[in-house]
């Protein structure tokens, strides 16, 4: 196989793995308002855990670039919220508020995928063994990210196939960015901590501004906090032993 085709295939593998996160929702037929709150809580914990891993990874390449990137990610979400508020946003049968939140979630996770795509492409500079390890690690890491996306979409009436499709869609930047990162690894490497920080900042703000307020308004605050804490700890441990 041509090297560029192989790099693209590895990136596509990581993207497809994200769709596996929708599988648990194939066994859930209806979701109550409390179920929506609990799903948001789990998604919040998984996203915060992913942010922790991203910040650790980013600071290893550059502390200040990661911090700058995180602040840019926060500003990006604030700006995106204002833009979405100016339009009558629709997403399937969802109301405007739920549609805005759903689209914002997809935007956040899609932006996050750019940094992962660069990581896949750059890893080929260290040989096939390193590239395979990094690709498998990101693919496995993407499954709970797909679960987080599905936890937001499924309770709002999106089909399981739709959840899987949007999850994969959010990861499509991975194969698209893997090839140029492989070709121009020296040029992409300095930008990686900025991208990682950007993704972390965007996800943190999404959790605290969108997901958790809705969860606290629909279910017991104690239960929501417990689910966030447990899923956060599970995600950190998952990344630690991956």
Domain boundaries, the chain: 3-21+33-241
Find how far residue 72's CA is from the centre of its chain: 17
Rg (CA), the chain: 17
**In degrees, to the nearest 5, what angle opens at C-alpha 106 toward C-alphas 183 and 10?**
30
CA distance 146 to 4: 26
Q: Kindly tell me the number of DSSP H helices and DSSP E strands found in the chain.
A: 11, 0
Give CA separation, 208 vs 26, 43, 70, 205, in Å.
Answer: 28, 12, 15, 5
Burial zone of 77 (CB within 10 Å; 0-12 exposed, 13-18 middle, 19+ buried): buried
pLDDT digits (tens, 9 = 90+) for 79-132: 888 887 777 666 665 666 677 777 888 888 888 788 888 888 887 877 788 788
CA distance 7 to 109: 21
CA distance 174 to 172: 5
pLDDT digits (tens, 9 = 90+) for 27-36: 876 667 788 7
Specify the pLDDT at position 91.
63
Specify the pLDDT at position 190.
85
Specify the pLDDT at position 164.
94
pLDDT range class, residue 224, cuts 50, 70, 90: very high
Give CA separation, 213 vs 37, 218, 235, in Å.
Answer: 9, 9, 21
pTM confidence score: 0.76
């Amino acid at each position: 196989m041509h090297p560029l085709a192989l790099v693209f295939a590895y990136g596509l593998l990581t993207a497809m793995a994200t769709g596996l996160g929708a599988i648990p929702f194939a066994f859930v037929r209806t979701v109550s308002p409390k179920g929506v709150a609990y799903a948001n809580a789990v998604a919040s914990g998984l996203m915060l855990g992913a942010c922790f891993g991203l910040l650790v990874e980013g600071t290893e390449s550059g502390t200040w670039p990661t911090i700058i990137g995180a602040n840019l990610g926060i500003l990006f979400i604030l700006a995106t919220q204002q833009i979405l508020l100016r339009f009558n946003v629709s997403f399937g049968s969802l109301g405007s508020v739920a549609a805005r939140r759903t689209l914002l979630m997809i935007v956040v996770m899609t932006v996050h995928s750019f940094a992962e795509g660069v990581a896949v492409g750059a890893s080929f500079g260290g040989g096939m063994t390193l590239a395979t390890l990094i690709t498998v690690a990101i693919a496995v890491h993407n499954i709970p990210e797909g679960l987080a996306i599905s936890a937001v979409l499924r309770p709002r009436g999106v089909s399981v196939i739709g959840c899987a499709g949007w999850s994969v869609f959010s990861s499509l930047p991975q194969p698209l960015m893997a090839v140029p990162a492989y070709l121009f690894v020296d040029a992409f490497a300095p930008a990686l901590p900025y991208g990682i920080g950007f993704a972390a900042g965007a996800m943190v703000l999404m959790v605290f501004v969108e997901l958790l307020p809705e969860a606290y308004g629909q279910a017991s605050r104690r239960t929501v906090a417990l689910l966030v804490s447990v899923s956060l700890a599970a995600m950190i441990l998952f990344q630690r032993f991956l």
